[in-house]
Amino acid sequence: MDLIFERKVNYYETDRMGIVHHSNYIRFLEEARCDLLSKLGMPYSSFEEKKVMIPVLGVNCSFKHHVTFGDTILIKTFAKEFNGVRLTLGYTITNKKTGDLVLTAETKHCFTDTNLRPIRLQKQIPEFYEKFLNLQ
């Protein structure tokens, strides 16, 4: 399965220097994460329908190279850790044209009920639990 999310950089995402402002990478990661869930057959909306939330606990980014307006980036998303309660996703962003590594990152999440109390995904949505296991 292709777990690469392709995205073109918009002008409004750049700063005065003409490069993508660092804050936008968090949005790019979220877009890639939502794309991953959809490709796995479990769009984020399906979690919400089942009263399961996936809050972000932390984000860690390491900037390697810049991209500018009009560049196309490729975001590879992969599971680093998953135990049914917590999930860590890894990301690599590359410039499609040059192949330059732009960013490495990870986001940490947990699965909760609508009151933000941790839950075990295996118990709540076993079919999604299995999909995450197969992603590792």
For 52-83, the pLDDT digits (tens) are 999 999 999 999 999 999 999 999 999 999 99
71 is an active site residue = no
How far CA 38 is from CA of 19, 62, 135, in Å, comes to 29, 26, 13
Domain that holds residue 96: 4-135
- What is the value of pTM for the model shown? 0.93
Catalytic residue among 2, 15, 71, 113: 15
pLDDT at 135: 83
Interatomic CA distance for residues 119 and 105, integer angstroms: 25
In tens digits, what is the pLDDT along the chain, a chain of 136 residues?
568 999 999 999 999 999 999 999 999 999 999 999 999 999 999 999 999 999 999 999 999 999 999 999 999 999 999 999 999 999 999 999 999 999 999 999 999 999 999 999 999 999 999 999 888 7
Would you state the pLDDT for residue 122? 94
What helix, strand, coil percent values describe the chain, rounded to 5?
30, 40, 35
Domain count, the chain: 1
CATH classification of the domain holding 34? 3.10.129.10
**Per-residue pLDDT, 9:** 97
Q: For position 2, what pLDDT does the model report?
A: 61
What are the DSSP calls for 83-126, one per residue? -SSEEEEEEEEEETTT--EEEEEEEEEE-B-TT--B--HHHH-H
